[in-house]
Amino acid sequence: MTDGNGEVRADPIDVLRRRTSEKWALHGDDVLPMFVAETDFPLAPPIRRALERALADGDTGYVAVGDDRAASAISRFARDRWGWEPDPEHMLTTTDVGIVIVEALRALVEPGDGVIIMPPVYPPFPDFVREAGGVPVSVPLVDDGTAWSIDLDGVETALAAGARAVLLCSPHNPLGLVHPRGVLEALADLAGRHGAFVVSDEIHAPLAHAGVGFTPFLSVSEAAREHGVAALSGSKAFNLAGLKCACITTASERTRALVARRPTEELVARAGLFGVIATQAGFDESRDWLDASLATVEANVALLERLLAERLPDVTMRRPHASYLAWLDFRRAGWGDDPADAALRQARVALANGPAFGAEGRGFARLNLACAPDVLAAAVDRLARVRPASPTR
């Protein structure tokens, strides 16, 4: 499972192709799938053992109201890794982060209210806003040519014009951007001054890279606690998306009361019991495995940088600081607005389509680095053979 370098080894390709999840079922066996955010790593041993015990016991029923195993494990992890200990009494277990976002927005805004999103961003964000009855308001991230950042002036303008909430991606998908504490403090202050709310999707938070300090939004200030709701989950860190477990997290009596207006018993009942069991085993017992998996990802980041320089010099990447996703810039390479289309048709490599992340994603594609290094090298080799329709030189 781990090698001599303290890294997690991905499963062999023949084993991976037996999986029936989206990553491996959507395309044929001639495609290298590197699009959706699933990992190629085997389950952490403590998670596997916990699930095997549950199967042996026939423990396959509903999640009990008041079951705080997932919330308590996340709280302990947050205390030890981020210096912030959310109160499990302020955490409600439910299905997944998408449901957390939708239900939090339903609790916090009225139908027709504007909700700020910050493209390029996780493609379902506008759909989550609409499902909750809101209207997406785009305030793109600022790109200064070397780094991305939140456009605080743009956020303030949108809030002054009537937007009632901000949907924050922290760390930011697809960029691997970890927002600095000062920026989060400023965002919380803006929400407080305009009587708005911030819903912070922190699904990638456990995947901050070595030496990078993640700051939970609800930890930064009293304004953040009074105006914020966070979505926390182990689904990306431990590859548990199909088991269905996440937590709606609040840090003030005010936001807790607002969330409590939603059908909380039904929200709990819709969570997966296996998700609860796996989440506890992940955050409490699988931290060494998580660190080893991140070491693998970070080694792959360095490998990808080298491979791009050697094989695809017109394709660039800014080093991500969290998660296992690489945001690739194909604009100089002349691959058009949607490089993932050419990658799939000509190279049989499935990347995530850049324009799906917003207009700011034109000319980009997202690549999943949570794989074996030889698979990553094979993917770059295939991509290097693509002949774009409109080369720049």
Q: What is the pLDDT along the chain (393 residues), one digit of tens a residue?
A: 566 568 999 999 999 999 999 999 999 999 999 999 999 999 999 999 999 999 999 999 999 999 999 999 999 999 999 999 999 999 999 999 999 999 999 999 999 999 999 999 999 999 999 999 999 999 999 999 999 999 999 999 999 999 999 999 999 999 999 999 999 999 999 999 999 999 999 999 999 999 999 999 999 999 999 999 999 999 999 999 999 999 999 999 999 999 999 999 999 999 999 999 999 999 999 999 999 999 999 999 999 999 999 999 999 999 999 999 999 999 999 999 999 999 999 999 999 999 999 999 999 999 999 999 999 999 999 999 998 775 544
Whether 182 and 148 have beta carbons less than 8 Å apart is answered as: no
Q: Is 163 helix (H, G, I), strand (E, B) or coil?
A: coil
Nearest CA-CA partner of 238 in 299, 199, 301, 294: 294
Strand pairing class (32-33; 91-94)? unpaired
SS3 116: strand
Enter the pTM of the model: 0.96
Q: Which two tokens stand for residue 185?
A: 């403090």
CATH class (in words) of the domain with range 13-44+287-384: alpha beta
Phi, psi of 168 (to 5 degrees): -100, 135
d(CA 27, CA 37): 15
Q: Which residues contact 213 (CB under 8 A, 6 or more apart)?
A: 82, 178
Residue type for position 15? V
- For 242, other C-beta atoms within 10 Å of its C-beta total 15
Coil, helix or strand for 8?
strand
pLDDT of residue 3: 60
Amino acid at 221: S
In the block, residue with structure tokens 């999103």: 117
d(CA 152, CA 158): 10
CA distance 304 to 314: 13
Note the pLDDT of residue 390: 58
Query: What is the CATH code for 61-285?
Result: 3.40.640.10
End-to-end CA distance of the chain: 45
pLDDT computed for residue 393 by the predictor: 42
Tell how far CA 106 is from the center of its chain: 21
pLDDT of residue 333: 96
Confirm if 215 and 243 have CB atoms less than 8 A apart. no
pLDDT of residue 1: 57
Determine the 3-state secondary structure of 368 from DSSP. Answer: strand
Cβ count near 313 (within 10 Å): 11
Check if the beta carbon of residue 173 is closer than 8 Å to that of residue 143.
no
Domain limits of the chain?
Answer: 13-44+287-384, 61-285
